[in-house]
Amino acid sequence: MNRQQHPIIAKEGWPFLWLAAMVAGLTSVYSGYLAIPLWLIFIFVLQFFRDPPRVTIEGDSSVSAPADGRVIVIDEAEDPYTKQSCLKISIFMNVFNVHSNRMPVSGIVDVKHYYPGSFFNAALDKASDSNERNALLLTTKHGHRVTCVQIAGLIARRILCYVEEGSQVYKGERFGFIRFGSRVDLYLPKATKALVGLGDKVVGGETLVAELPTP
């Protein structure tokens, strides 16, 4: 097993935390109890940007969840980025989930492509094609092609991705962040076996969501 260490609070959240704390603190000094709603906002922001360490189960054939959340799609589909028939697994993150994104497999980043778009509810099917998104096309050591797509949601307005084309990546490592509600789509080889069911709750970097076909 590989334990992925990260700060307990995601670095992406510090500007929001400082702002929320400053506003709540100043209001406490000058307005007393009127600051209570602002401290509740601070607590919400604090829990949103939490980023606990995760233990990833190693193995070249298993696929780990790229995000915390609920499985909303398990279906055969065409990968819109590679134009190949595949198994699609989608995970929806609400505002109470951890929003760090983690690599589902180890391999090489062949393509990284950002697509501007709309901000529909990320739980809707059309979000995969219409919303702002960032796609990573990965190739594993056994030649499996896996596409991992970060998708912005109704409230999310910023997709962050920290890997580049040609990078060697490892399953479970943190590669990005989406702020305030979003979705991640996985497109896997057609013969892949799903290890989760619709409605299942998964933990990014820990839950195994699929088993790639034997090479």
For residue 6, the model assigns a pLDDT of 56
CA dist., res. 117 & res. 137, Å (int)? 19
For residue 94, the model assigns a pLDDT of 86
CA dist., res. 4 & res. 56, Å (int)? 7
Asked if residue 88 and residue 172 are part of one domain, the reply reads yes
Whether pLDDT at 123 is above 70: no
Task: Name, in order, each residue with C-beta under 8 angstroms of 170's C-beta and a sequence gap of 6 or more.
Answer: 2, 103, 106
Asked if residue 107 and residue 22 are part of one domain, the reply reads no
Active site residue 90: no
Model-level pTM? 0.83
User: Is 214 among the domain residues?
Assistant: no
The pair of three-digit structure tokens given for residue 28, joined into one six-digit string: 């406490």
Asked if residue 150 and residue 90 are part of one domain, the reply reads yes
User: Is 211 among the domain residues?
Assistant: no
Percent pLDDT > 70 in the chain is: 88
User: Is 191 among the domain residues?
Assistant: yes
For residue 8, the model assigns a pLDDT of 75
pLDDT band at 149 (very low <50, low <70, confident <90, very high): very high
Could you give the number of structural domains in the chain?
Answer: 2
Higher-pLDDT residue of 39, 120: 39
The conformation of residue 166, written as its DSSP 8-state character, comes to: T
Q: What is the 3-state secondary structure (H, E, C) of 59-118?
A: CCCEEECCCCEEEEEEEEEECCCCCCEEEEEEEEECCCCCCEEECCCCEEEEEEEEECCE
Q: Which of 90, 106, 128, 182 is catalytic?
A: 182
Structural domain that includes position 33: 11-48
Asked if residue 176 and residue 70 are part of one domain, the reply reads yes
Whether pLDDT at 3 is above 70: no
User: Is 213 among the domain residues?
Assistant: no
User: Is 53 among the domain residues?
Assistant: no
pLDDT in tens, 34-83: 778 887 877 777 767 778 888 888 888 999 999 999 999 999 999 999 99
Whether pLDDT at 124 is above 90: no
Neighbouring C-beta atoms of residue 122, cutoff 10 Å = 28
CATH number at residue 133: 2.70.70
Poorest-pLDDT segment among 42-51, 108-117, 161-170: 42-51
For residue 180, the model assigns a pLDDT of 66
Whether pLDDT at 210 is above 70: yes
Sheet (strand 107-115) strand order: 168-169, 107-115, 133-139, 145-152, 182-189, 85-93, 69-78, 201-202
The pair of three-digit structure tokens given for residue 9, joined into one six-digit string: 């609070």
Higher-pLDDT residue of 165, 17: 165
Asked if residue 104 and residue 26 are part of one domain, the reply reads no
Asked if residue 19 and residue 116 are part of one domain, the reply reads no
Angle at CA 199, nearest 5°, toward 198 and 204? 100
Place of tokens 């980025």: 81
pLDDT band at 5 (very low <50, low <70, confident <90, very high): low
Asked if residue 175 and residue 116 are part of one domain, the reply reads yes
The pair of three-digit structure tokens given for residue 63, joined into one six-digit string: 């696929």
User: Is 142 among the domain residues?
Assistant: yes
For residue 122, the model assigns a pLDDT of 63
Mean pLDDT of 135-142: 95
Q: What SS3 class is residue 184?
A: strand
Higher-pLDDT residue of 112, 39: 112
